[in-house]
Structure formats: structure tokens, C-alpha cells
Structure 1
Amino acid sequence: MAEEPFVVAENLLLLAEKIKEDFPYSASVYNSLLLHARDHAHTFKFFTLRGRPESHAVMWINEAKTEIGVHAKPDEIPLLKEALTKTKLLAWQLDRIFCFYNVQDYLTEAVQDVATCKLGKPLLLGSVYTFVREVDHFPPLWCGAGLRVSKLGRAGVAHMLATSKHHKHRDVDEILQLAEGASSAGVYEDEGASQDTLVDAGAMPSGPQDRKPLAWVTCLQYGALAALMTEPEHRRRGLAQLVMEAAGRGMAGQGFVPHAYVEKDNGPSFRMFSRMDGWRRAHDAIFMHT
């Protein structure tokens, strides 16, 4: 019987430090490793290649085997492809819904080849742009009068998930732990804020547990800022930029790599990131799913 090519990663912090060399391509896996090592998240189990301690190849899987992530250096593509072909850790079934998250563009062909072989047909592809926040450029960040920026509270997280395009299925308590412990930002109405206030992204207070924000974003288990949205009646006020910048700075202050994925048909978000000072477009990535 063939030996399982993947083994459980024992030291997530050391693994994160190793793949740090591969920025920006490894940003999501790096952040996710830190999130799990610091007990902000407990969603994924991480694996490395058996007998190859020098390798940068990483795979993560959730318990239900519906969410998968992979990373490897370009010269390790054959190794990763062979391991994905041989592993018994993945449930390759046509009637099963699963997704490979933010696959780097140079890994897409290898993952697709394995999936096509296992399933008899290719996975569906959703292409995204990656925007990364430079961490050495933080001009003053201001919040307008009548508003305040805080981490998301329970009502904010619940509302965010209920209105999300992709994350409705996630558990409120699980995301609340991420929002409070890692990074999130919401703009709340505050009648007591009579003038513009300076936002200290490194010391944002916890948001009210029983109120919904006007705009919001949070870091998710796979390491990127996501679920960005502004209530329709409050759009065109710069609130999305405000929460994204506050959450990005909050991530950077904890040693994470602030970044976000933007679907290629999402013109408003693409234009917002393109004009935000300190954010730059990096590589493309692919979400691959049944």
C-alpha cells in the first residue's frame, strides 16, 4: 500500500517563517498559519510533504474536506502534483461540493490536471486580483464626525455573514473570534463623536455586540481580508476604504500580511483598491471549485 505523501505540520510558526520567503504568493497561507498558531482560528489542519523538510509545499484542509488550500514554489509544482494525485486526504467525488482557495496562477494547471483525472471533468474557475497593503506607509487615518471605527461585534458579524455573497455558511462564533482577535473593522454611528477623530488601528475598541455597522470587513480563516460591504444607503462616502484601511493596518501591526482578493468582474472594488494609497495590485489567483 502506497505511503501517504502528506504529514501533519507540527510547528506552524516555523512553517510560516519558511514560506515567508515566497511573498506575496504565500501571503494567505502564511497568515492562516499564524492565525491557527495563535489560536485565533481552529478551522484547518496543515500538512507538508513527507520526507522533505526543506520543501515549501503546504496543504490545508477543513474538517469537512470542502475547503482546501495549497502552496508551493514554482520549482516544486511536480512534487505537489504527485502528492495531490496520491493523497487519500482529499475526497474526490463528483457529487461533493468543495473549493481550492486562492490558488496561485502558476499552480492552477497542476491542480486542474489532478482534479480532471480524479473527477473526469475540470473544476470551475473564478479568477481574482490580489491587492497587497504595503506595511511601511501609514499616513493619519481619520473617521468623520458622527461615526467611529471599531472591531466587529456579534451583531456586526452575524449581519456580515447573512449579507455575504460567499460566506453565509460560516459560524458566527468562529468568525467573531477572528474579528476580535485578529483583525476586523466596522464603521458605527456614534452620536457622541462631534468632530473627525483619528483612528488608531492598533488599538481599535471592540464594537457593540448588539448593533450593526454601516460598513465592514474582516480577516477570514484562509488569511485574507474579505466580506467587504457597505450598506446601500451609506455608499459613496468612503466607508469601505476606511474599514479596509483600518483592518489592513490592524493586521500589519500583528505581523500579518494585509491583502484581499477582488473578483475580476467586481469593478467598484477594483477601482477602490486601485486608488487607495499604500495598496498595490500583485499577482492573480484562482478559486477552483466543483
Structure 2
Amino acid sequence: MTDTASFPFVRVEDPSVLIPVLEKRLPKSALVYNSAKMYGRVFDKSQVSFYTLYGDVDETSWIIYLHFREDYGQDYLISADEEKSKISRDEATGILSSCSLFKWDEPFFFAAVEKWISSIILDISVSIKGNITMIHPTYMFYKDIEECLTLDVSINDHTKNVQVQRLDPELGLKFILDTWKYATKDSDIVVRRAIELNKSGGVYVDGKPVCGVITQGFGILSALYTLQEHRKKGYANACMNFAYKELAKEGLIPTSTVEIRNEASIAFHKKLGCKIGPCCTLEAAAGDGRVQDDEKKAITFTGRMLKTTLTRESIACFSSFHETSTRFITEEQEEDDSTSISLLSLVALSWYDYSSLLAEFCNVSYSIHSGLTPESEGDSDLREKHEI
């Protein structure tokens, strides 16, 4: 018999019972909703699992989705209603940090979690577990199913050698692995599974892919890329619209995430008619990236610059990925007592109230990932510049 005190989550054998709850939480719950709808249709049931806190299936439910991927480790999705939750933030922190369902000492990835949940996860990973932690603030973009069903997926290029179609498991696989900047040596099986079992979009010229996008195992469009010589032709638009329509036919919410600093991709999604949702992507590193006690005050920030009250003397910039120590102080800031820092990557931020930084981002969601390497820092999607 399971001890609910040590393991308070109850496995949901039939995720379809979660759909009514998740529908009421859309668009925030889009990825968990998609994953529940995909259960048994895309991936083997042994690869994924759903849990609810105390077995509750109602508006108060904390719904957890687990999916293991060979390149980035354990994926977690969480859907919970902050206002209707039966547990407080402190209680949630205690439960998530102590329950064996969450492997904090192994590589993990939390995708598109809401800001209030991401702060709990970051607090656990950094302050309690002492992990190297990365956070990727992103916007979540989505489209309505009804609208996607009527999308025009044609291309203005009327030559017979251009086709819009699903990616194939041979040339399409090679295309994604060659162009996706976050592909690792273990991504082959992940991408192949996504192409063979899930929805995708591709533009082929003379039988070869020049643009493509896949749907990840947790229901999000990812890895969109157009070859340089084929940009400004409308291929990315057609590719995304094709994928949107394919997902909509399955009753799935077409969803993607874009880093808040990626102005080109944000403009591209707006051009596609996407709506901006409230979710984000947070990434945290654990496992062999553990932070030693004498490094607990180390911190690394990279990416979008934010003005803070941290002084130059307060910041010990530490980079576990490049094995160097540096300070992020620009020439323009030398005469100023404060330093502009970024929230894209956080390393061991256990000594500073990071919530003040998170508060800078309104209606933004986050992703947490664990076990990152210099070659693959994160999983934020659709970052390449396309035809805008």
C-alpha cells in the first residue's frame, strides 16, 4: 500500500478523465491537454504517465505528466490552478521536493510551466537541492483549433518541384538533426519517434526538405528551421500552417514557445496569427552538474539584459559550462554602481531573491532543464529567424 505522506501522487490510468479539467484551464494547460489527448495514440503507454495530487480530479487538481526522452532526460509538465489549489506555495514546495516522483538528482526538464510554478521548481532545484539551474523565459504561442482547420497550406511558388507535406523518417530526420541547434548525440531516437509517430510539417524542393518542424512528445511544435537559401519564400509560413492543421485534425492545440528576447520569432508567430499565452519554459541542471557547498554563492547570467540593484562586488559570475570565471559588466556600466544582468541562465541562485527578477516578466512562462552540456543549452523552441 502506498504511503500518501511520502508519495501523495496517484497515477491516472485513463488520462481522458483529465480532459474536462484541462479544457477549463486552456490555454495555460495546452501541453498537458495535448499530452493527455495523445496518450496511447502516439507513444507507447509505458513511456508516459499521468498523476494527480491525492488522486483529485477536479478544479483543485495538481496534474503531473511524465515523459522520458533519451537526450534531455525526464520531462515534466505541471497543470495547477493557483487560485483554486488546495495547497499553499510552501506546501507545494515541500511535496515536490520530497516526493520520489521528482528525480532532482538526475537530468530533468520542466516545459512551459507557469511563472508561479516555475518559482517553486527553481526554489527547490537551487535553494533546497543545490543544483545548477537554468531558466529560459519564453512566451507561449497558440492557435485556435477551429481556425487551424481552415488554414491554407499552399505556397505561392507554383513550380511542381515544391511540396508541403509531413517530414519523412529518413531525409526529414537528417534535416532536423542537422539544423536543430539543440540536438544532441542522443536526439536521433527522440526525433525519429517524433517524426514517425507524431505530426510534423515540411517543405520539400526537388524531393529534399528545405524547411521543417516537428511535434515533441509533450505536445509542442519544435525545431522549426528553413535553409538560408530558401528563406523569404513563404516556406516557414506554409510549413507551420501545415503542422497547425495536422494537429487541429487530431483535436490538439497548436502550441510553441519563443524566448522573450527573440524578436524575429515573436514577429513571425504574430504574422501567423498566433495568440500569446501565459506560459514559460524553465530549465534546470542537476546530476553531474551539482554545485559544491563553496560554490553556492556563484551565479551566471546570460542573455537578455535587465537592470538590477546588484552591485559589481555582489556578483561572482561562475560558468560551469565553459569552465571560466567572468564578470558581466559592460563599458557603459563601469561608472554605474549597478549591473545589467540576464535571466536567461541562472546558476546556483540560492543567495538572492530571484523572485524580484521573475517579476520583471509579465505573462511569461518558463522551462527548467537538468544535465545541460555546452553543446545543448536548453530546449527553447523556434529561435531561428524566418521570413518576417
TM-score class, shorter-chain normalisation, is: 0.7 to 0.9
Aligned equivalents of 2:268, 2:201: Cα separation in 1: 17
The runs of 5 or more residues in structure 1 that have no matched partner are 191-210
Q: Which of 159-168 and 11-20 deviates more?
A: 159-168
**Counterpart check, 1:59 vs 2:64:** yes
Aligned equivalents of 2:43, 2:243: Cα separation in 1: 15
Aligned equivalents of 2:17, 2:193: Cα separation in 1: 23
Q: Which of 126-135 and 162-171 deviates more?
A: 162-171
Q: Classify the secondary structure of the residue corresponding to 2:65.
A: strand
Following superposition, the deviation at residue 22 of structure 1 comes to 0.2
Q: Write out aligned runs for 1:160-179 (5 A).
A: 160-168=176-184, 171-172=187-188, 174-179=190-195
Following superposition, the deviation at residue 172 of structure 1 comes to 4.1
Aligned-partner residue type, residue 367 of structure 2: F
Aligned-partner residue type, residue 67 of structure 2: N
Among 271, 275, 280, the residue aligned to 1:280: 275
Matched with 1:156 is: 172
Matched with 1:97 is: 107
Aligned equivalents of 1:134, 1:232: Cα separation in 2: 30
Post-superposition Cα deviations, 1:65-91, rounded to whole Å, max 9, x if no partner, equal 532222211132636434312311222
Q: Classify the secondary structure of the residue corresponding to 2:223.
A: strand
- The question of whether the paired residues in 2 share the 8 Å contact of 1:161 and 1:170 is answered with no
Among 97, 103, 112, the residue aligned to 1:85: 97
Aligned-partner residue type, residue 198 of structure 2: A
Post-superposition Cα deviations, 1:74-118, rounded to whole Å, max 9, x if no partner, equal 13263643431231122222xx43221111123122222222343
Aligned-partner residue type, residue 153 of structure 1: D
Post-superposition Cα deviations, 1:139-174, rounded to whole Å, max 9, x if no partner, equal 533222231111110120232033212243555455
Aligned-partner residue type, residue 224 of structure 2: L
- The question of whether the paired residues in 1 share the 8 Å contact of 2:64 and 2:76 is answered with yes
Aligned equivalents of 1:13, 1:178: Cα separation in 2: 22
Aligned equivalents of 2:152, 2:26: Cα separation in 1: 27
Following superposition, the deviation at residue 45 of structure 1 comes to 2.1
Matched with 1:201 is: none
The runs of 5 or more residues in structure 2 that have no matched partner are 279-363, 371-388
- The question of whether the paired residues in 1 share the 8 Å contact of 2:67 and 2:217 is answered with no
- The question of whether the paired residues in 2 share the 8 Å contact of 1:156 and 1:213 is answered with yes
The sequence identity of aligned pairs, in percent, is: 24
Q: Which of 261-270 and 173-182 deviates more?
A: 173-182
Matched with 2:80 is: 72
Post-superposition Cα deviations, 1:118-155, rounded to whole Å, max 9, x if no partner, equal 31357321011111112333353322223111111012
Following superposition, the deviation at residue 248 of structure 1 comes to 0.6
Q: Write out aligned runs for 1:123-272 (5 A).
A: 123-137=133-147, 138-143=150-155, 144-146=157-159, 147-154=162-169, 155-168=171-184, 171-172=187-188, 174-190=190-206, 212-272=208-268
- The question of whether the paired residues in 2 share the 8 Å contact of 1:41 and 1:178 is answered with no
TM-score, normalised to structure 1's length? Answer: 0.82
Following superposition, the deviation at residue 46 of structure 1 comes to 1.9
Which of 1 and 2 has greater Rg? 2
- The question of whether the paired residues in 2 share the 8 Å contact of 1:19 and 1:56 is answered with no
Structure with the higher fraction of residues in helix conformation? 1
Following superposition, the deviation at residue 282 of structure 1 comes to 2.0
Aligned equivalents of 2:197, 2:123: Cα separation in 1: 38
Q: How many residues align?
A: 267
Following superposition, the deviation at residue 274 of structure 1 comes to 1.4
Among 28, 31, 36, the residue aligned to 2:34: 31
Q: CA RMSD in A?
A: 2.4
